[in-house]
């Protein structure tokens, strides 16, 4: 797929992986619309990118928004959807565990109401995470949600092919604004989280965004997951 003059919708497009993807798409010549829950971070967007506020958990908002923006060639969601529960499952607050699945429901809203508006030959891309297939202690909520996202995409690929494609990018530990620590505390956290990886460092949002660009561009890829994890799955 040539990105020049293509229309791309990016949910979660004002921060981290989504923002990095928006910037690359804009440079590549696409018309980009970035969707975020609030306008607080829209100042970081490139001048040519349009911003619209919408929470992926709000099905009516998502449906209405996508109808107004249709048609489009590229649909991406990296939106987390809300809080993520961490810790042992048997000690976990069940509301927190259930809340972690807001990511899945958000993706479901985006795909269900967006797929019909994607042009022929277009692409849908979602983001899961390495815990989906290599769960570390305390990550059962992340693993469960990520596994569900990847399973949904594989099943959907059969439903929507050959008209459009859907793929997953699965990042490992990535240095994004989701971690609020700064300075040496931030460095120590990432060192601890990645010390057993084959590449012992946190990845960057740009490295993940490049993988998103790959699955969008390659017309022979669908129903698959591309890992950008520094060797997490092998460690």
Per residue in 14-31, pLDDT (tens digit) is 999 999 999 999 999 999
Per residue in 27-48, pLDDT (tens digit) is 999 999 999 998 888 889 999 9
Domain assignment present for residue 168? The answer is yes
Domain assignment present for residue 43? The answer is yes
Domain assignment present for residue 181? The answer is yes
Reading the block at residue 201, the tokens are 């460092």
Residue 212's pLDDT is 98
Report the candidate in 178, 179, 163, 165 with the shortest Cα–Cα distance to residue 226: 165
pTM of the model: 0.95
Q: How far, in Å, CA of 232 to CA of 194, rounded? A: 8
Q: How far, in Å, CA of 172 to CA of 232, rounded? A: 6
Domain assignment present for residue 31? The answer is yes
Beta strand 225-228 with 174-175 is unpaired
Domain assignment present for residue 1? The answer is no
In this structure, what CATH number is given to the domain that contains residue 180?
3.40.50.720
Per residue in 121-169, pLDDT (tens digit) is 999 999 999 999 999 999 999 999 999 999 999 999 999 999 999 999 9
Domain assignment present for residue 180? The answer is yes
Q: How far, in Å, CA of 18 to CA of 21, rounded? A: 5
Report the percentage of the chain scoring pLDDT > 90.
83
Domain assignment present for residue 185? The answer is yes
Count CB-CB contacts under 10 A for residue 53.
14
What is the extent of the structural domain holding 21? Answer: 7-229
Domain count of the fold of the chain: 1
């Amino acid at each position: 797929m040539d990105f020049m003059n293509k229309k791309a919708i990016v949910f979660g497009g004002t921060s981290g992986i989504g923002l990095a993807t928006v910037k690359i798409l804009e440079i590549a010549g696409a018309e980009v619309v970035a969707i975020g829950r609030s306008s607080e971070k829209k100042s970081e967007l490139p001048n040519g990118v349009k911003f619209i506020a919408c929470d992926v958990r709000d099905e009516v908002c998502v449906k209405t928004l996508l109808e107004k923006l249709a048609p489009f060639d590229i649909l991406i969601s990296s939106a987390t959807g809300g809080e993520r529960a961490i810790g042992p499952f048997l000690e976990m607050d069940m509301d927190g565990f259930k809340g972690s699945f807001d990511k899945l429901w958000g993706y479901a809203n985006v795909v269900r109401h967006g797929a019909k508006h994607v042009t022929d030959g277009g692409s849908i891309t979602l983001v899961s995470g390495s815990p989906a297939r290599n769960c570390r202690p305390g990550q059962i909520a992340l693993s469960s949600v990520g596994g569900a996202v990847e399973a949904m995409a594989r099943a959907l690929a059969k439903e929507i092919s050959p008209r459009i494609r859907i793929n997953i990018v699965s990042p490992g530990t990535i240095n994004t604004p989701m971690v609020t620590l700064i300075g040496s505390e931030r460095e120590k956290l990432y060192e601890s989280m990645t010390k057993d990886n084959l590449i012992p460092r946190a990845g960057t949002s740009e490295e993940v965004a490049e993988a998103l660009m790959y699955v969008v561009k390659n017309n022979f890829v669908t129903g698959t997951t591309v890992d950008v994890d520094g060797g997490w799955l092998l460690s």
